[in-house]
Structure 1
Amino acid sequence: MNGTVSILGVPFSKLTLEETTLHLAEQIENKRDKLFHLITANPEITLASQSDELLQRIIQSADMVVPDGIGIVLAARRQGNPIPERVTGYDLLLKLLEQGNKRSWSFYFLGTDEETSRQAVEKIKHSYPRVRIAGRHHGFFDAAEETEIIAGIQQSKPDILILAMGAPFSDKWLHRHKSELAGVQLVFGVGGSLDVISGKVKPTPPVWKKLNLEWAHRLLFSPVAKGQKSRWRRQSALPKFVYRTMIRQMIRR
């Protein structure tokens, strides 16, 4: 691996999307004895970790943290230790589905609402016919259902467990149940990626991605699930993140 760069104490991987995909494929093919926990962290999650001790511990114990946001890339550049590119949960999911289609990996999808979950998995089956679906479940479950979900994951032992319950809830959920998920090779959260795959949310047009304005497209056009903070409130974390990283850099100098 090409090492990491620390931004507000979060150790971000410096691998590209392609390099990350190859590294994860190696972990999966080697059939590790314990699961590989990957976190996709953006400026909002990085900032939240400053005041959330549990989230800090989860991030530090993760096997890899990838930069899911242009703000992370710019902060690393300002530190003189550049990250080559963003590695978003959505792009990484698509890359692993491509690899899974070649290698017949199994996936379990946990999160989002029932209809979106069903539609997303149906489209994945159609687009990646050699991917094995180990199971799926929506993210609005009670304690009894949770027990059944964990039992189902234990029984199916998917190569990859995809969590679509939002950050940092997905990673905190995994932290609580990590010891029960032996046999799973890779786990990571994908935010609203299943919403895009299902067609519920339109994908970001390439020109917006090229200009690193994916966040703006989501802010303007993507719906917010019930119970989540508005995107305008969430984006208010960005100027705080920029301020914190600049002050930290000035102090270091």
Structure 2
Amino acid sequence: MQPLVSIITPMYNSEKFILKTINSVVNQTYSNWELLLIDDGSTDNTIKIVEDFKQKYSNITLLQNPTNLGAAQSRNKGILEAKGDYIAFLDADDLWKPNKLDLQIQFMQTHNCDVSFSSYEQIDENGKPLNKLVQAIPKLTYNKYLKTNYIGNLTGMYNAKTLGKITSPDLRKRQDWLLWLAAIKKSSKPALGIQESLAYYRVRQNSISSNKIELLKYNYLVYKKGLGFSTIKSLYRMFIFLWEHFMVKSKLIVPTEKK
């Protein structure tokens, strides 16, 4: 029997994208999954769209926060409710390719790894290709991952049977980096990267990810608040981060053929 995969998707005013995101799960070639959608106080039609899917699919669950709590607490709520052998993440504006779960589960079982991730492609707000591929590095140790965030959260998956449920600290941004750091640290093995592109990451104009200065602040908080490093050590790690990010990681973003 196929292992159960729990998919965690936090949502906030996601009516523009959530239908296609859910469809990218529903259309998976892998059938044994559950989708936990956590609404974080949406005021648009997000919940109505999800309710329509719930009527058709018994393996789709809607959880609702009493107030807006942020992505970290929303993801953690889903993780704690998850029943799966594996836990995966998909944000409310991103998309999976149809064979994503099939290939990733096969890969993890074949290589006996606890944490895996994959390459992915970038699209714009309207879903048009930006003709950029973010390549996954084949092997990722804790020390290497401490230098910069190499895992696209929409591609990450961990084995909850071997590692237990791993949640993320309550940071507004980059909490996924800390979650994967904790998962790799808990495992006795490095995370493994699938070279094939299995997902589409939506680049949005007004997101925190597009604000480089704001993002640097959250990267610093990963070291200072998330990992409890001293101010001096956090600043030192930031120098390493900047070198790794611009001199190494940036080379993993390569052009693809125009479609």
TM-score by length of 2: 0.31
TM-score by length of 1: 0.31
Greater strand share, structure number: 2
